[in-house]
Amino acid sequence: MIIAIDGPAASGKGTLGKRLAHHYGYRHLDTGVIYRAVAKALLDLGADLTDEALAVAVASELDPEKFGNPALKTQEVGDAASVVSAIPRVREVLLNFQRRFAEDPPGAVLDGRDIGTVICPHADVKIFVVADARVRARRRTLEALGRGEVADEAAVLADIIRRDERDQNRPIAPLKPATDAYLLDNSNLDIEGGVRAAIDIVEAVR
Ligand code: C5P
C-alpha cells in the first residue's frame, strides 16, 4: 500500500503524512527534507545554488540519518530547496531512493510535490492537500514562533507564494495534482479534522 500526498508549501502535508503513517503502521517519508538537505549542504559550503555538478554530487551522498536535523526547517533552507529542486539531474539522483522507500513493505506514506505524478504514479491513494495561502502563512508563522524564531507573517506569506509559483512553473515535476488525486482543502480544518478527512479518503479506496 502506497499513499501519496502532495501539496503546496505549509499545507500540512507533512503532519498529515506522519499521522496517516502512524494510523496504518506504515513508514513515512517527508520528501521535502531531501531537497532541503541538498540545499543546506550547498548553503553551508557557500556555493551557488544553481551549481549543477556540485548539487548532483551533494545529492548523491546524502545521509538519510540526518534528515531529522531541525536546521532543515527554516524558511531560508526551504526557499533554497525550491531552487535546487528545479535542477533535473538532482531530481533524477533522488528518484530511486524515494521509489525504494515507497516499495518496501508493509506500506508507505510519502509526501512532497510530485509523489502522485512522478515518484509513485501507481500509488494506491493520492491526496492533494490545499489550504488558503493566508491560512498557511499563519500556521507557518506560529510554528516558527513556537521554535523561538523571529517570523513576520507578511514575509512568510510572500515566501510561500514565491515558492509555490516556482514549484508550479518549473518544467520538471511541477507541483500539480495527479489526475486521479483526491483534493483535500484543510483551510477550515484543524489537524484532527484533516486526519479524519484523509482517513475517510483512504478507507473509501482501500
Ligand atoms: O515540503 P517542503 O517545504 O519541505 O519542500 C521544500 C522544497 O523542496 C519545495 O518548495 C520544493 O521545491 C521541493 N520539493 C520538491 N519535490 C518534492 C518535495 C519537495 O521539489 N517531492
Q: Could you report the per-residue pLDDT of 117-135, keeping only the tens digit for each?
A: 999 999 999 999 999 999 9
User: Is residue 206 a part of any domain in this protein?
Assistant: no
The arithmetic mean of pLDDT across residues 131-140, rounded, is: 96
ipTM: 0.99
User: Is residue 158 a part of any domain in this protein?
Assistant: yes
Burial status of residue 153 (CB atoms within 10 A of its CB: 0-12, 13-18, 19 or more)? middle
Residue 24 lies in domain: 2-201
The arithmetic mean of pLDDT across residues 166-176, rounded, is: 97
User: Is residue 121 a part of any domain in this protein?
Assistant: yes
Q: Provide the pLDDT for residue 63.
A: 94
- Under the banding of pLDDT at 50, 70 and 90, the label for residue 206 is confident
Q: Provide the pLDDT for residue 177.
A: 98
The arithmetic mean of pLDDT across residues 151-175, rounded, is: 96
CA–CA gap between residue 133 and residue 7 (Å, rounded): 12
Domain at 156, CATH number: 3.40.50.300
- Under the banding of pLDDT at 50, 70 and 90, the label for residue 75 is confident
pTM of the shown model: 0.96
Cα–Cα nearest to 127, from 187, 194, 28, 198: 198
Ligand 1 pocket at CB < 6 A:
9, 31-32, 35-36, 78, 81-82, 85, 112-114, 163, 167
Please give the distance, rounded to the nearest whole angstrom, from the Cα atom of residue 40 to the centre of ligand 1: 13
Single-letter residue type at 110: L
> Looking at the 3D structure of the chain, how many domains does it have?
1
| Residues 6 or more apart whose Cβ sits within 8 Å of residue 153 | 137, 138, 141
Please give the distance, rounded to the nearest whole angstrom, from the Cα atom of residue 175 to the centre of ligand 1: 9
The arithmetic mean of pLDDT across residues 58-76, rounded, is: 93
Please give the distance, rounded to the nearest whole angstrom, from the Cα atom of residue 74 to the centre of ligand 1: 13
Q: Provide the pLDDT for residue 124.
A: 98
Binding site feature residues for ATP: 7-15
What number does the ligand 1 atom closest to the CA of 164 have?
Answer: 10
